[in-house]
Structure 1
Amino acid sequence: MGVVEKALSSAEHRTLKLFQATYPRLAPAARPVLHELVASMKAALTSPNEMALEHALAAFWDDLFAPVYHNALHSRLPPFSQVYSECLRDAQRTVQPWGIIPALVGEPLLRGLRTVRLFLHSLDVGIEVVNSARKFPVPSECGEAAARLRFCGACHGTLAPPCFGMCLNVARGCLAPLAEVDGAWGDLAGTVARVHESLQASRLSHLLHQLPEKLSEAVMVALERGPKLQKKTSSEKQQNKNKNKSSRAP
């Protein structure tokens, strides 16, 4: 997990540097939004909530809209109020200021991070199984039988005469309860191997390396749509106002 966390932190750092160079007015407002995205993704890797990754990415696009909208159309004015920013946040998914970038970035990135999440979960299960096996109570009879094996040359790999299957009999008798987990352990090991192959195929490191450029491209799309964006946003806000009035009507 440490490798993935470092890759996410690196993507955050490089994105912020790119924003500072390309959109200097936007960068300060984008910094906490970007940091929250990375922090939420790190937490989602071990969260029991299977939708945590999707929620983190969706919240990022929602939260980024207000500072980008302000930078595109009202950069000379004071920052938006909290109420107005929330209004813009709610309008983002309808207005779709980023074009197709969220889909291009989100779908492969989520696939890769889901695979990491599954891989980590599989390893945790494996550790639990190993710890359970280590705590397996050894009956006193097994301890006595194992002690007698010290005098069997065959059990030490020497050329001494075999002890009439004593080594195998002790192993079978004393480890029989653990044999029940053998099939499940084999399935788990196979699953971990397949998930590892999927993780390599997802090229997550490559996706995270490209993330700064993709996020910058999304901002550029929104800035280029400035006037149209303002019209669509105003229309969406008016529709929401009308809905609220209708819902309050007796």
Structure 2
Amino acid sequence: MALEAAASVQEFFTDVGLYLFGADVNPEEFVNRFFDSLFPLVYNHLIDPGVTDSSPEYSECVRMARKDTSPFGNIPQRVRAQMGRSLLPSRTFLQALNLGIEVINTTDHLHFSKECGRALLRMQYCPYCQGLTLSQPCMGYCLNVARGCLAHVAELNPHWHAYIRSLEELSNAMHGTYDVEHVLLNFHLLVNDAVFQAHSNGHKILEQVNKICGRPVRAPTQSPRCSFDPSKEGHGMKISVRNDEETLANRRKDFINSLRLYRSFYGGLADQLCVNDLAAAAGLPCWDGEDLARRYSVCPNLKTQ
């Protein structure tokens, strides 16, 4: 039965992936579709074995009868609830990550005004005209120019900070039944319970299906009724053992922790450029826009910068 159910399981997890990546699929619908496709297999193997040459119409009737017979009890409802709680936060999280990527890509290529271009040219290359080829801009001078040129980028900083805080709050809420990894890794247990319930109520379900769909064609010698032992259902299945450090929750936590280091990235971009690349170290002779100097004051307001 497991081999026959493989296609339905694959379709179910494909739908899960499509939903997570933003496709227009409905979790309630693909959960119902999975249990609809599972019921004929359970019925033929565990409830009424020995049926042969059943027509496609009869198989479809059995599939549709799942809604009227409720062979799996409340398991489909539980799965729908768990999928609804866990998939939506993960889908939102991925959409938020894509939004962050778009913001970063948008600011990857900056456009500067003519005034900024002239200020950068004066800061970087005018010393060459005086033969000061090894001199670098004074730290204060560099900060004034860079902060002025990147003022429009710095305006993103409060929004970027709020974005990272929202990601952190969403990530913290994704645990337990709101953690998609936890729900999907335990999905097989709910399916096992569903099959066990159908098998336990097999006589009642058989009568209900016979009333709805009639009797199917049987082989001359009926196969004995199959037994179902939930304790043995996992035999032959490869269930991966998780390393606790390799969970999505831990990876998500590590990602948020690393992202938190860049909360002030846009606000401090000018300072990073000057400190790491452009400006002279403290105490060294430096270019102040006109000549060599030992120090240069940072202007207190954006307009002066």
Match of 1:152 among 137, 140, 145: 137
Distance 1:52 1:149, change over 3 A: farther
TM-score of the superposed pair, with normalisation by structure 1: 0.70
Q: Which amino acid aligns with 1:116?
A: S
Q: Secondary structure of 1:207's match?
A: helix
Aligned mates of 2:95, 2:161 — CA distance in 1: 16
Q: Which amino acid aligns with 1:215?
A: V
1:27 aligns with 2:12: no
Q: Which amino acid aligns with 2:74?
A: I
Size of the alignment, in residue pairs?
202
1:220 aligns with 2:196: yes
Q: Which amino acid aligns with 2:208?
A: K
* Structure 1 residue runs without a partner (length 5+): 1-25, 155-161, 239-250
1:66 aligns with 2:51: no
- 1:215 Cα deviation from its structure 2 partner: 0.9
1:37 aligns with 2:22: no
- 1:133 Cα deviation from its structure 2 partner: 1.0
Q: Which amino acid aligns with 1:75?
A: P
- 1:90 Cα deviation from its structure 2 partner: 2.1
Aligned mates of 1:174, 1:93 — CA distance in 2: 65
Q: Which residue of 1 aligns with 2:175?
A: 200
- 1:231 Cα deviation from its structure 2 partner: 2.3
1:83 aligns with 2:35: no
Aligned mates of 1:235, 1:176 — CA distance in 2: 76
- 1:65 Cα deviation from its structure 2 partner: 1.1
1:97, 1:225 within 8 Å by CA — same for their partners in 2? yes
Q: Which residue of 2 aligns with 1:119?
A: 93
Q: Which amino acid aligns with 1:97?
A: P
Kindly provide the CA deviation profile for residues 20-59 of structure 1, in whole angstroms up to 9, marking residues without a partner as x. xxxxxx222211111111122112211342x533322221
Aligned mates of 1:235, 1:81 — CA distance in 2: 17
TM-score of the superposed pair, with normalisation by structure 2: 0.59
Whose Rg is larger? 2
Q: Which amino acid aligns with 2:198?
A: A
Aligned mates of 1:235, 1:189 — CA distance in 2: 58
Q: Which amino acid aligns with 1:146?
A: L
Between 88-97 and 118-127, report the one with greater CA deviation. Answer: 88-97
Kindly provide the CA deviation profile for residues 156-184 of structure 1, in whole angstroms up to 9, marking residues without a partner as x. xxxxxx44xx624x344423433554444
Q: Which residue of 2 aligns with 1:107?
A: 81
Between 137-146 and 57-66, report the one with greater CA deviation. Answer: 137-146
* Structure 2 residue runs without a partner (length 5+): 125-135, 215-305
Q: Which residue of 1 aligns with 2:152?
A: 177
1:122, 1:192 within 8 Å by CA — same for their partners in 2? yes
Aligned mates of 1:200, 1:138 — CA distance in 2: 45
Normalized per residue, the structure richer in helix is 1
- 1:140 Cα deviation from its structure 2 partner: 4.2
1:87, 1:237 within 8 Å by CA — same for their partners in 2? yes
2:27, 2:83 within 8 Å by CA — same for their partners in 1? no
Aligned mates of 1:178, 1:75 — CA distance in 2: 69
